[in-house]
């Protein structure tokens, strides 16, 4: 029996138009009516998921979400945190220099804003700010306040450029932080204790839900540990091969109601919702 379903957003819950299909909404409503908790687990900041929480009726005081790729676990009303991990000024200085040396663009998330030290602001940064509904500002490295705390750092660029940079990341960076690729053009750098898997484990303990009663659904590298933690791991049809390799099941793609298909098949015990 499943008591909690953790669902990634981009490439999973959302179709390629960043929308939740009617069938997915119906499947989520059906399992919620049976008492199953739904937890959105995303790399987005809270501002980038509020409208979807409202659409799904998940914005209550006792609903929960995982944001910033696991750096923040909070209630979905946005009124209290379960846990939060942040990075500091020294981390910013180090990671920004690595990005600059590797020739890739860089931006960071702090409080409710996105900041880039790149005067030539990347189109990937602009798109991320737009999709996540996050105000974007430019600050030179010298203008960054040493008192700021950051939820995550991101190296962003065209896929080929970013992949070359990833191949040359210094071992020290990989040892000091949680580093995950969340999209073809996004590499995310988090506190070493952050990540969707760690966050789901923390939230499950907070709620008293055993791992074997959790289903997780995802499509990218940043979903891997979350899928490995859950008792039932489902990869989207559009997932990368590494995600499909660790999954117990593979559903259809995000443009083919993959989340609904998984819920119907593995939780509701039916091949389709009717009516």
Please identify every residue annotated as catalytic. 8
Q: Find out whether 75 and 61 touch, Cβ atoms under 8 Å.
A: yes
φ, ψ for residue 8 (rounded to 5)?
-65, 160
Alpha helix segments (H runs only) across 5-112 = 22-33, 50-55, 89-102
φ, ψ for residue 174 (rounded to 5)?
-65, -30
Nearest to 236 by CA among 251, 223, 221, 215: 251
Angle at 221 between CA 54 and CA 105, to 5 degrees: 85
Distance of CA 106 to the CA centre of its chain: 18
φ, ψ for residue 204 (rounded to 5)?
-60, -40
Q: How far apart are CA 267 and CA 275, in angstroms?
A: 18
- Residue 87 is given by DSSP the state B
Token pair belonging to 104: 């890739």
Neighbours of 211 (CB within 10 A): 16
Token pair belonging to 49: 């998921």
- Residue 40 is given by DSSP the state E
Q: Find out whether 69 and 182 touch, Cβ atoms under 8 Å.
A: yes
Q: Which residues contact 245 (CB under 8 A, 6 or more apart)?
A: none
Q: How far apart are CA 179 and CA 219, in angstroms?
A: 17
């Amino acid at each position: 029996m499943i008591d909690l379903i953790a669902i990634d957003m981009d490439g999973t819950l959302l179709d390629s138009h960043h929308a939740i299909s009617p069938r997915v909404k119906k499947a989520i409503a059906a399992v919620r009516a049976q008492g199953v908790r739904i937890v959105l687990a995303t790399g987005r900041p809270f501002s980038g998921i509020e409208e979807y929480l409202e659409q799904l009726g998940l914005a209550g005081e006792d609903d929960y979400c995982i944001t910033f790729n696991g750096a923040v676990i909070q209630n979905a009303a946005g009124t209290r945190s379960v846990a939060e991990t942040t990075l500091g000024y020294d981390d910013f200085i180090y990671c920004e220099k690595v990005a600059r040396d590797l020739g890739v663009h860089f931006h960071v998330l702090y409080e409710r804003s996105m900041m880039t030290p790149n005067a030539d602001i990347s189109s990937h940064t602009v798109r991320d700010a737009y999709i996540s509904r996050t105000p974007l500002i430019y600050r030179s490295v010298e203008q960054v306040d040493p008192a700021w705390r950051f939820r995550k750092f991101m190296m962003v660029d065209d896929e080929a450029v970013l992949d070359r940079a990833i191949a040359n990341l210094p071992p020290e960076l990989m040892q000091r932080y949680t580093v995950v690729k969340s999209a073809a053009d996004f590499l995310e750098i988090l506190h070493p204790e952050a990540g969707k898997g760690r966050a789901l484990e923390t939230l499950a303990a907070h709620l008293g839900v055993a791992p074997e009663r959790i289903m997780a659904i995802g499509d990218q590298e940043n979903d891997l540990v979350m899928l490995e933690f859950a008792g039932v791991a489902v990869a989207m049809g559009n997932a990368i091969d590494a995600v499909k390799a660790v999954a117990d099941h593979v559903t259809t793609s995000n443009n083919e109601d993959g989340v609904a298909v998984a819920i119907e098949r593995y939780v509701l015990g039916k091949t389709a919702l009717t009516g």
